[in-house]
Structure 1
Amino acid sequence: MTAIDYFFVTLSPFSYLAGTRLEEVAERTGATITYKPLDIMALFARTGGTAPKDRHPSRMEYRAQELLRMAKHLDMPLNLKPAHWPTNAAPSSYAIIAAQSAGGGDLGKLTHSILRACWAEEKDIADDGVIKDCLERAGFDPNLADSGLLAGAETYSSNLEEAVAKGVFGAPFYITDDGQRFWGQDRLTFLEAHLAGNA
């Protein structure tokens, strides 16, 4: 069985636009997914990236056009300027880490629910109530939002170190256990082809 390390950011519009397609790919190919939320600003600093606020206007204008094109193509609602962006991504990331450790629910649904809350529902994903609601709707104990904070912080930090060591520089980023790397939600078809032995 193939394993996929999924490096993502709960504030990333491109991670949001991945929807649940990674989970669908995994189901079709028999792959497993390990969810690895990380701090994208720290990743940018370590790998030569630039924070959105520091990018040239032409890059940001193109980013806006591309996001709207992708959202339309995927038939997904998207607010280019969410009411609560940027916000602190750590609490939602810790909740995903705790849920993965606890088991018993749908991690893909939880992850997408948090991303959708930010990019389509105008909710603050740093808010405890929002996180608990996402946990509950995905079949997890909502109290996971209040537990394992130290372990969550340690894993969040180690995810960053692992990402840097494995050549991750953006999000979403997918790495197979044979070392193939795929950057971006628009590379999921290539990931599936690789897992199916067709690429």
Structure 2
Amino acid sequence: MGPILLEGTDVGKRFGGLRVLNGVSFGVGEGEIVALIGPNGAGKTTLFNLISGLVRPSEGTIRMAEHQIAALPAHRISRLGVARTFQTPRPFLDLTVSENVRIAALFSGRPSAPPGALLDLVELGGQAGVPARHLPAGRRKLLELAMALALGPRVVLLDEILAGLTGSEVSRVTEILRRIRDTWGIALFWIE
């Protein structure tokens, strides 16, 4: 494990009177794969929403490298090197696979690999010209992963990337994730 890139200390979140997270602390090191597992409703996705700036924590601190990010908007957190995927992939359905990755790269503000290389990495290179709406669910998850990588991240948050996949798809995706870590040194924070 390299130096800690992403760190949370005593993170908590309340929605009105409901405490969803209480005193959560974590650390993700450079080039590390960290998994967080738990039952539905345990607050895993809420934690990712806090890290990525979609929601602000009620208490605690979240840091990306030397930056306090808990109060930053999502686009600023992304520019600091945090990218994410969602439980349900959110590609632009009317755009091609390649166009989706190029759009993500345009908005990143950070250098990344060429879209073709990213698509090859996630094994979608042969489907670059296919509209995203024609991809099955497992392939949409891989497209969203390529879009996250197009942001030039140092850490990628993976929200249930294996949910609903077949056994062979799970094996393929886990091998792709190892390759991403081993080739580019990107840290992966993964919830299932």
Common fold: TM-score over 0.5: no
The structure that is helix-richer by fraction is 1
Question: When the two structures are superposed, what TM-score results if normalisation uses the length of structure 1?
Answer: 0.25
Question: When the two structures are superposed, what TM-score results if normalisation uses the length of structure 2?
Answer: 0.26
Higher RCO (C-alpha 8 Å, min separation 6): 1
The structure that is strand-richer by fraction is 2
